[in-house]
Amino acid sequence: MFRPYLNISYDGGQTWRFLSLDFGGDNSVNRIAFHPTDPERWIVGGSGVVATSADNGYTWDTQKVSDAIWYFAEYDNVNSDIVYMAGRLDKTLHVMCSADGGKTWSVPQTEPMKKSSTENVYDLKQYGDKLLFYTESDIYEISKAELLVLATSVQGITVATPEESSDIYDLQGRRINAKPQKGVYIQNGKKIVLP
């Protein structure tokens, strides 16, 4: 019933190239996200799959991620290596995060939707440290930091001192160059609390 394809123009719309994507089965191409600083990098979702291109849409790498239908992809507005995906499965909003530009993905976080099983996700927006998801029945809000923790496979919380490693990151995935203040950080793949 569905055929995943793109029509791409590389000359301002004078000519068009038909490109069929190998998503498998009945599928479709949903909203494409374009990398904010590297126009060669694109990412798109489909039914149970995510596809990435590093060459301006000429070739695509497709990976199976979950059974959800992924409608929206969005690069983080602070750290463009972080990508968010929003979709649905039955009556549930699904959201996942990648901390490496779309190579690997977190386990999706889910939120029950208030309407029927055909309710769609209509938009994904960033607002400060939150993501907002717009559906037919409501607006859902999820913390970027929560998703990033899932994407970086952070395991547990420990109390540590900053001298243990020179690589300390804030919860948005930004490397801390100066001595960090008191708070929660990521160090060596684990969440730490600096007293």
> What are the sequence ranges of the domains in the chain?
5-151, 157-194
> Dihedral angle at the C-alpha atoms of 39, 78, 137, 27, nearest 10 degrees?
30
| pLDDT tens over the chain, length 195 residues | 467 778 888 898 999 988 877 776 667 778 889 999 998 999 998 888 898 999 998 888 888 888 888 888 999 998 989 999 988 888 888 889 898 888 888 888 888 877 665 677 788 888 988 988 888 778 888 888 888 887 775 444 344 444 444 578 777 677 787 777 777 777 766 667 776
Q: Which runs of consecutive H residues, i.e. helices, occur in 24-164?
A: 144-151
Beta bridge partners of 32: none
Which architecture does CATH list for 5-151?
7 Propeller (2.130)
